[in-house]
Chains A and B, each alone.
Chain A
Amino acid sequence: MNPVNIFPLIGVGDVVIGLSLGSRLFLIAVGLSLIFGVLGVLNFAHGALYMLGAYFALSVVTNVVGNFWLAIVVGAIAVGIVGAAIEVVTIRPLYERAESDLDQLIVTFGFVLITHEAVRFIWGSQPYSTPMPDALNFTMSIGGSQFTAYRLFVIIAAALVMVGLWLFIKRTYFGSLVRGTSSDREMASMLGVDVPRLYTAVFFAGSFLAGLGGALAAPMQSIGPNLGEAVIIDAFIIVVIGGLGSLSGAFVGAMFVGMMQSIVPQFFDAGSIAVPFLAMVIVLLLKPEGLFGGIGE
């Protein structure tokens, strides 16, 4: 491939698709990063929660009310509740254990298996697609490239979540509790913070974001029981590149992986798998704490 010929191949449409893929990944990665930053738990089940968000939204749209916007909200809240329940029942008992990192990873991996089968039991193995909301179901054209308006909407929504989350953590009282607890758990506990309750709240928020990502991305992808497995690995790549616990890192990492997924396959097929993993290896070796700082940065 002559390098001069590469650039004309990357149109505005590819960039929009890449950014929209990145946006859905951002919503899952930022929740993963938030949970890791505050609780120190690498939640393997996060991809499964994202998948649940997509399925919940699908069910609300097709079976209950048929309102897409309501489906997104209901889906995200339901996933948040599932996440909080997981935290209370199985992760809370492990905090006291010495060296519980690997135990937590394995417990959450157990939930990956359970959710995968539960989804197959309830919805079956066949792939579903969610209809796009009518208001956004039209094609836009910029610079000769075409894409659906919905993709642009997802990008804007992710950017809004990014800004909202940043303001929430930097400017609110709850945000300062979260930051304080993430940097020194004992001290926060001594100063009267109810740490277990805060942890559950953070787990709820992280799961809520994963569910929101799944619900928002539902019209852009086919929904099947393997959706969770595919996105969790992408989310791991993103949080490692950006830095475990870093919100802005999750944003940059997500956009990078999204662009890779939209552009690289045009040049070589398996490259979209290889390139992000290569980036992950390089970042882990050179700067294991990631390219960006901690919570709220």
Chain B
Amino acid sequence: MSTQNDGLVDRIGNVGRQAIGNGWTTERFALLGLLALVVVSVGPQFQIYLFTEFLIIALFAVAFNLLYGYTGLLSFGHAMFFGAGAYGLAIVLRDYQSAIAEIVGTGLAPLATFVVGGIAGVALALLLAIPVGYLSVRLEEIYFALITLAFGMLFYSLLLQDPYGLTNGSDGIFVALGGVELGGTQFRLAGRRIYYYITATVVTISIYAIWRIVNSPFGTICKALRESPDRAAALGINVSVHRWMTFIVSALFVSIAGVLIAGFSSVATPNEAHWSMSATPVVATVIGGASYFGGPIVGAFLYHYVRWGISRFPALEAYWELFFGIMLIVVVLYFKQGAAGGLAMVGTWLQDVQAAYDRGGANAATAFVRESIGEKLGSMMSRSTTGQSDDGGTDR
């Protein structure tokens, strides 16, 4: 046992040393992210609450971007799987909690129901994603966006109409996560801190899983499809089957976010599946930068915290959508790589400033700064679209 522990500690130490040695590597970012997750957990209740919601939106957006940023398909119906996750949990919680309690005992029942409900939500999304994905990926671009929108709204109208008496119509289903008694200690699953730990763990594991997928041969094929479906097909890739698989994987991770939002907001309503909910990951991804893995996370952070910042000024609070509309347009027109691209650009620029300083001291550095800012402003003024470089970014 002790050798294993040593190994783990050693390995963490190695990752840390490597990270510092190599500069701003992915590992270093990941370590900082994990540290941030821990730091938030000791913060005030409201900040924990806000951060939990941000994490759920971030997972929603990252899973959506697997399809949009990596495979080049804009889905306007992903709220369907978000809603499926939420309703899976809600229905299991309402109808089967007592049955589960008989099997595992009342102390553990709420936790077991949450797990079973989560699995049910993901399974429901899988059941939907297989046929919907199969039919949708036959179409491209605008047509793909439109058919996913139509499927999403069909699901929404099913939730609203409630033909089988399962969904409780427009009122939705109340989701009450109970108290767990485990080995003498008691805690409430819905307690803000506990729910934050659950969310942080699930979201971190999910995003790591997506990261692994993106950096696997599967992810490489996705990128090949985005760049040119014809060339990918010429290489022997079955384009529609691969798109179908990506659709299913994306839907599964979105449904995990849906399960989490139902527990978070204590209710599952048809609104979770409405097309305007599908717009949330689109906005977050575009603002953050679709061509970076972390772009949707940055975008979700901006989306969520700008909204919170605005809400502190009552005069502006009612009109927060206005800011997002303007932000969206400015980003699409001027920052093709989103906020994450902007950050990367600033990073490269700072390195160039450093290089100039190394070459010729402070004077060279200031000259470089003045020159590059002038250039940037000039190109923004003339708005020449011909020079648009699409250099992606390092984390693609």
Contacts and interface: CB of A to CB of B under 8 A. Distances in A.
Interface of A: 42, 90, 93-94, 96-97, 99, 101-103, 105-107, 109-114, 116-118, 120-121, 229, 233, 236-237, 240, 244, 268-271, 273-274, 277-278, 280-281, 284-285, 288
Contacts of A121: 319, 322
B328 A107 contact: yes
B143 A110 contact: no
B332 A106 contact: yes
B146 A284 contact: yes
B282 to A, nearest CB: 7
B146 A240 contact: yes
Interface SS of chain B? helix
Nearest to A102: B74
B158 interface: yes
B103 interface: no
A93 B385 contact: yes
B325 A113 contact: yes
Given A112-B325, A120-B319, A284-B139, A277 B282 contact: no
B224 interface: no
Contact of B325 (A102, A114, A244, A271): A114
Nearest to A268: B161
A118 B322 contact: yes
Contacts of A278: 154
Contact of A109 (B72, B158, B279): B279
A110 B161 CA distance: 31
8 tightest Cβ-Cβ pairs between the two chains A and B? A270-B161, A113-B325, A114-B325, A110-B328, A117-B322, A273-B157, A274-B157, A110-B329
A109 B282 contact: yes
Contacts of A229: 276
A145 to B, nearest CB: 27
A274 B326 CA distance: 33
Contacts of B388: 96-97
B230 to A, nearest CB: 14
A116 B282 contact: no
Given A102-B74, A233-B153, 13 more contacts: A106-B332, A107-B333, A109-B279, A112-B325, A120-B318, A120-B319, A270-B161, A271-B161, A274-B158, A280-B146, A280-B150, A284-B143, A285-B135
B332 A117 contact: no
Interface in B313-330: 318-319, 321-322, 324-329
Contacts of B386: 96
Nearest to B324: A113
9 contacts: A42-B142, A94-B385, A96-B385, A270-B157, A271-B161, A274-B161, A277-B150, A277-B151, A288-B139
Given A107-B329, A117-B319, A233-B275, A97 B385 contact: yes
Contacts of A271: 157, 161
Given A107-B332, A288-B139, A270 B160 contact: yes
Given A229-B276, A285-B138, A111 B150 contact: no
A110 B147 contact: no
A233 B157 CA distance: 14
B154 A274 contact: yes
Contacts of B319: 117, 120-121
Contact of A105 (B145, B156, B157, B275): B145
Interface of B: 72, 74, 135, 138-139, 141-143, 145-147, 149-151, 153-154, 156-158, 160-161, 275-276, 279, 282, 286, 318-319, 321-322, 324-329, 332-333, 383, 385-386, 388
Contacts of B282: 106, 109
Contacts of B279: 109
Given A101-B141, A107-B333, A280-B146, A273 B153 contact: yes
Contacts of B154: 274, 277-278, 281
B151 A117 contact: no
A269 B138 CA distance: 31
Contact of B153 (A102, A107, A277, A285): A277
A102 B141 contact: yes
A229 to B, nearest CB: 7
B304 to A, nearest CB: 16
A34 to B, nearest CB: 16
Given A110-B328, A285-B138, A269 B161 contact: yes
Contacts of A107: 328-329, 332-333
Nearest to B146: A240
Contacts of A237: 150
Contacts of B383: 93
A106 B321 contact: no
B150 A117 contact: no
Contacts of A94: 332-333, 385
B385 A236 contact: no
A278 B158 CA distance: 12
A273 B318 contact: no
Contacts of A96: 385-386, 388
Nearest to A111: B325
B146 A236 contact: yes
Contacts of A269: 161
B333 A109 contact: no
A257 to B, nearest CB: 13
A119 B158 CA distance: 31
A237 B318 CA distance: 31
A99 B158 CA distance: 34
Contacts of B328: 106-107, 109-110, 113
A280 B333 CA distance: 31
